[in-house]
Amino acid sequence: MLTVYLLLTALIAPPDSAIKPFSIFPLPILYYTPETRFAYGVAASATFRFKRDYALINKANQQLRPAGSAPDKPRPSNVMLLAAYTQNRQILLFLPFQVFYDQNMYYVYGEAGYYRYNYNFFGVGQHEVPRENYEVNFPRIRLNALRRIQPHLYAGLRYEFENYQIVSVEPGGLLASGTVPGGQGGRLAGAGLGLFYDTRDNVFYPSKGLVADFSYLGHGQGIGSDFCYNRYVADVSFYQKLGSRAIAAFNYVVSITGGIAPFNGMSLLGGTKRMRGYYEGRFRDQNMTLFQTELRVHIWKRLTGVVFGSAGMLGDAEKLFRADAIKTAYGAGLRVRINNEGLNIRADYGFGHKSSGLYLTIGEAF
């Protein structure tokens, strides 16, 4: 019902006639899962440009098309806020953001949030266990501050912090055994470097171009972490327009971990962005590689249909990736554009092996 309501609301609402310096899209939240029972709350998505950047667009008398904007024009910034409370007395406060400033010279993105939640744990690597439910409280900060050093190329600093306070685990389970790193909770803090290359024609819904995000994060006691490990991640997406109504999108991710990472800091498969159709973190290990693709076809006005598929592998210190244990998933969904910048409501249903899931959110998976 919520999916239908959101789609109808976005389709009936009058579209923006032009690019605005600021727009906000509020919506109610109501959903149900076995882990949360009923959950309800509010969400809002704000899209904006800073005054000087917006003035440059008007001064040049350039009208951006709904489908996208040229890479050399000031790009829109976006901040989303989500607050939810569940029947199980769980709290979710989440603030993702991406900010462009000074004609795209500076790019800052990340998230801040607080969670009082429960999750399902299925083991680590090849040591899979029946689902264990555990409760946890934690704040989370992820910050990336980059500066443009060449056309389309950014470099800068990255930081993450998470204070994982595990409140309860299932008696007799793997987490309760004390053999899983991080199974008793602890602080995760990491700092490092990043490179970001971007030739997309639109940051929210690209029809062409490439975006590549490379990062290194080192975790150790010197920056307040209870765990010592390093992570290297490459996340590359490519977009190609197919005729006037379709777009092909491809995403490839590699995550390599060295040292002893806590289970909540390992490379993951599953969730809203990486391998839809599996519970978030259904598969986790030191290393992960993932390929996923989407075909996005415009249906009518602001409505788009999508089909997608993905395949991924995990690995550890002994074997970088286990090619004999490939995980796959597939699914389909709908998109409804909610502003002239190309921002969409995303409704996807994914299928994995003996697993499936509905994903209702704002913004693309990649």
- CB neighbour list of residue 47: distance below 8 Å, 6 or more residues apart: 22, 23, 24, 76, 77, 78, 339, 341, 343
**Taking 80 as the threshold, does the pLDDT of residue 194 lie above it?**
yes
Choice among 15-19, 186-190, 204-208, 332-336 with the minimum mean pLDDT = 15-19
Give Cα 333 distance to the centre of its chain. 17
Q: How far is the C-alpha of 109 from the C-alpha of 63, rounded, in Å? A: 26
Choice among 65-79, 136-150, 214-228 with the minimum mean pLDDT = 65-79
pLDDT of residue 79: 92
Q: Are 28 and 40 in contact (CB under 8 A)?
A: yes
Choice among 72-76, 85-89, 362-366 with the minimum mean pLDDT = 72-76
- CB neighbour list of residue 9: distance below 8 Å, 6 or more residues apart: 27
pLDDT of residue 35: 56
As a whole number, mean pLDDT of residues 78-82 equals: 89
**Tokens for 202?**
């639109």
Q: How far is the C-alpha of 361 from the C-alpha of 269, rounded, in Å? A: 19
Q: Are 82 and 94 in contact (CB under 8 A)?
A: yes
Q: With helix as H, strand as E and coil as C, how does 134-163 read?
A: EEEEEEEEEEEEEEEEECCEEEEEEEEEEE
Q: 154 or 28: whose pLDDT is higher? A: 154
pLDDT of residue 50: 85
Q: How far is the C-alpha of 279 from the C-alpha of 290, rounded, in Å? A: 16
Q: Determine what percent of the chain is predicted with pLDDT higher than 70.
A: 89
pLDDT of residue 58: 63
Of 79, 56, 51, give the one whose Cα is nearest residue 69.
56
pLDDT of residue 98: 92
Give Cα 25 distance to the centre of its chain. 19
pLDDT of residue 303: 94
- Helix (H/G/I), strand (E/B), else coil: 52: helix
pLDDT of residue 226: 94
Choice among 126-130, 234-238, 256-260 with the minimum mean pLDDT = 126-130
Domains and CATH numbers, the chain: 2-362 (2.40.160.50)
Q: How far is the C-alpha of 155 from the C-alpha of 136, rounded, in Å? A: 34
Residue 181 bridge partners (DSSP): none
Q: How far is the C-alpha of 54 from the C-alpha of 282, rounded, in Å? A: 43
- CB neighbour list of residue 142: distance below 8 Å, 6 or more residues apart: 110, 111, 112, 159, 160
Q: 23 or 321: whose pLDDT is higher? A: 321
pLDDT band at 160 (very low <50, low <70, confident <90, very high): very high
**Taking 60 as the threshold, does the pLDDT of residue 199 lie above it?**
yes
Residue-averaged pLDDT of the chain = 87
Q: Are 312 and 305 in contact (CB under 8 A)?
A: no
How do residues 258-277 score in pLDDT, each as one tens digit?
A: 999 999 999 999 988 999 99
Q: Distance between terminal CA atoms of the chain?
A: 26
Choice among 9-18, 66-75, 157-166, 214-223 with the minimum mean pLDDT = 9-18
